[in-house]
Amino acid sequence: MTVSKVEIEHRVQAFVQTCRRRGLKITPQRMEIFRELAASTEHPDAETVYQRVCQRMPTLSRDTVYRTLATLEAEGLIRKVEPLFERARYDPNPDRHHHFVCAVCGLVSDFYSEALDRLPIPSSLESVGTIDSAQVQVRGTCLACTRDKTKMRRGGPQ
């Protein structure tokens, strides 16, 4: 699945507008880091973002990528997705959505569900703290990994 150029530009424009409203500097590094996230459906980790952006900006430092991702997350411009036992990955999609995580290959994919959006937050959480947001993470096996398992059961690739 790919992100359309129109959607990428929509996300980038929303990013620029939000930065301006909040008084955040719009540096070339921040723009490239955000653009890399906006163009991806795979929720890349910081190292992947660094490697890809470095191809366009060879002088970019790893530290700049990590600090930028932390700043953008703190400002609510991106979300950190933390699949169990993996590195944190980043999501530029500001729309309310949930995540499917493949337990085999680690794929993280957005999905939308009005039914899940309507789930009430249990009142028992009031004793734990204040809820800012909620999303559901569903774990399973993606179609590609399921096909691979099926091929292996049938005696290997055909």
* Phi, psi torsion values for 82, nearest 5 degrees: -120, 85
CATH number of the domain where residue 109 is located: 3.30.1490.190
Q: What is the pLDDT of residues 145-156, one digit of tens each?
A: 998 877 666 665
Structural domains in the chain (count): 2
User: Which has more confidence, 92 or 111?
Assistant: 111
Q: What is the pLDDT of residues 49-85, one digit of tens each?
A: 999 999 999 999 999 999 999 999 888 899 887 765 5
Question: In Å, how far from its chain's centre is CA 128?
Answer: 26
Write down the pTM of the prediction: 0.64
Q: 134 is in which domain, residue-wise?
A: 95-153
Q: Is residue 111 part of a domain?
A: yes
State yes or no: pLDDT of 158 exceeds 60: no
Give the whole-angstrom CA distance, residue 118 versus residue 124.
17
